[in-house]
Structure 1
């Protein structure tokens, strides 16, 4: 696991955006920044390791104020644990134990359409959960994007903990597969197919949020996971529907897909190296999604 990956967890995308492309100024000289990056990495990992509830693996949305758990934060925590092993912050055994606790919770937690007491429905999870019980916090939505960020962390651990002779790591891989394949992307796209809805509430009519994931933003990871599902895949037309609402523009001298907040250009890249990967839209622009995010980073820094 690389330093750039962990830096991306904090939103320091510039650390991961060095490229041979000619657009934009050269990367800044990072000589002498090693100590800062080492501290940044260790303290970032420390947040996830120290503040997560060790009984169920739930990570708080914020700290030091009292907080509910964010399932997206759990996804980033699951991503950070293997990095912590590689950097020597914790042992592989301890990290595997933490991951196993987390995955056992999400696999066995209650899934139904009741308004209270459940953790999710159709394989998706509520945006925020009670830190102790793991039940839905208040009346928050069942969130497709936050579930996707959680799943990305789950699948990271499935790939990393690959020791076939270790019972804990074997269980991690099996649980990760079960959690991912339970997620019903077809149900999530049933309100306005083939697009995937932002979320769902059990107590409202209509129950699905009447907005879908369209236009370029952090939800690219949703469609990648949905299209790749071996059990409940999204319609193959979903990606075309997703890209059909893109907007392209020039911002601070950089031409790239329009989405103002930088995190939308970062989140999916935490887990996927998009260098050299093009869909028809990007092929027509002559770049890839990595270069697109690189340009967005330079525009933010201008």
Structure 2
């Protein structure tokens, strides 16, 4: 698929804005189509120069993002609807074989056998947050494939079964007023990581409240998620008001992962206006790169974007408060809905200034550092997915419309005290 859309950097720079966005989306989509696991069709964690652990490893969260990207590809006619349907159906069939932990998928598993692959020594069981990203992708696909055909009916039924099996409430650890990120059949609750906001996990609480059989109460949202020390902020950074989150906003994926499907436009609750939250978080991130207090090479109005990504030392959550001089293209590109002019300026800068050093077979590489003269040669699934999806949300709102049309998502948002146009 990507073979047909590769273009020279000179050609990219000659495209108008709409054509450039289309090409970037389509080439990035190749990560989830051409580079998917050959048996399960699910998304690999990252491309070369290595596969983590072994070649059959697939990632739960990246697979959820990949499903959303496949829906975008079908809608944009990069692939046919039937090709998209059969790929997602293959994924859904395989997911029934995956070893789950109270209905919750592990962070990584074997794309050939379905066996859990440990993320770390004690993280060898269920990962509730990664599971929420997968469930969001499945629900978006269920809403998209709504025709009365045998295969589309089967897909919807399989998705409903997978989603209904997730025991969200069990991850309150016996009825606590907070969700816990991990549980292991060998180590139990030893990781003891409470999911408290503000971070990338709002979608986890919404989906946990949406379950017909294993729902959390609203108290778990208000006392757990909203009860964390880094939830409310209310201060200004670089003259920009930040309603929620750590000082300077944290890495930009906080504004992306939950909002691949949750539409932040006019989405509010007692704590925040989520459009204001995400726009201002993005503007603070960019303004930090403009002011560049650490004197990092290359930073400026057109070269910005700090988020979690690979870097010259490994993998870190880059942010204004933890700035290693590493720019991650996904940060600015996945912010298109919030800062379209600034994101387009960054996109054209990435093409014009860095060119072939960061543009490869599956779109832009994961990150680079001009200060260190370091450029990744590979891609990371959870960074590639938001580029395709959030550019599409900017262009058409497709994935926002699909997830927000889910009756269970609407019910959950009402239960938790949200207001949004879809809830009227």
**TM-score by structure 2 length?**
0.58
Moved over 3 A (4+): 138-141
1:233 corresponding residue in structure 2: 215
Give 1:90-239 correspondences, 5 Å limit: 90-109=79-98, 119-138=99-118, 139=121, 140-141=123-124, 142-164=126-148, 166-191=149-174, 193-204=176-187, 206-207=188-189, 209-239=191-221
Alpha-carbon distance between aligned partners in 2 of 1:176 and 1:252, rounded to the nearest angstrom: 45
- Structure 1: gaps (5+ residues): 1-30, 110-118, 283-287
Change (3 A) 1:208 1:162: farther
Alpha-carbon distance between aligned partners in 2 of 1:237 and 1:136, rounded to the nearest angstrom: 32
Aligned partner (choices 66, 85, 91) of residue 77 of structure 1: 66
2:30 corresponding residue in structure 1: 46
Alpha-carbon distance between aligned partners in 2 of 1:32 and 1:254, rounded to the nearest angstrom: 31
After TM superposition, give the deviation of residue 35 of structure 1 in Å. Answer: 3.1
Q: Are 1:253 and 2:239 matched, yes or no? A: yes
Alpha-carbon distance between aligned partners in 1 of 2:78 and 2:215, rounded to the nearest angstrom: 37
- Larger deviation: 139-148 or 179-188? 139-148
More relative contact order, 1 or 2 (CA 8 Å, 6+ apart) = 2
- Structure 2: gaps (5+ residues): 1-14, 288-424
Alpha-carbon distance between aligned partners in 2 of 1:41 and 1:79, rounded to the nearest angstrom: 12
Alpha-carbon distance between aligned partners in 2 of 1:79 and 1:102, rounded to the nearest angstrom: 13
- Kept in 1: contact 2:37–2:58 (CA 8 A): no
Alpha-carbon distance between aligned partners in 2 of 1:299 and 1:87, rounded to the nearest angstrom: 33
After TM superposition, give the deviation of residue 191 of structure 1 in Å. Answer: 4.9
Output one character per residue of 1:35-79: Cα deviation in whole Å (capped at 9) or x when no partner: 321221011211101111242122100002224211011001110
After TM superposition, give the deviation of residue 135 of structure 1 in Å. Answer: 1.1
Total equivalences in the alignment: 256
Alpha-carbon distance between aligned partners in 1 of 2:190 and 2:87, rounded to the nearest angstrom: 33
- Kept in 1: contact 2:197–2:227 (CA 8 A): yes
Alpha-carbon distance between aligned partners in 2 of 1:207 and 1:281, rounded to the nearest angstrom: 30
Output one character per residue of 1:218-254: Cα deviation in whole Å (capped at 9) or x when no partner: 1000000001111100122011121132131322222
2:227 corresponding residue in structure 1: 244
CA RMSD between the two structures: 1.7
After TM superposition, give the deviation of residue 33 of structure 1 in Å. Answer: 2.5
2:323 corresponding residue in structure 1: none
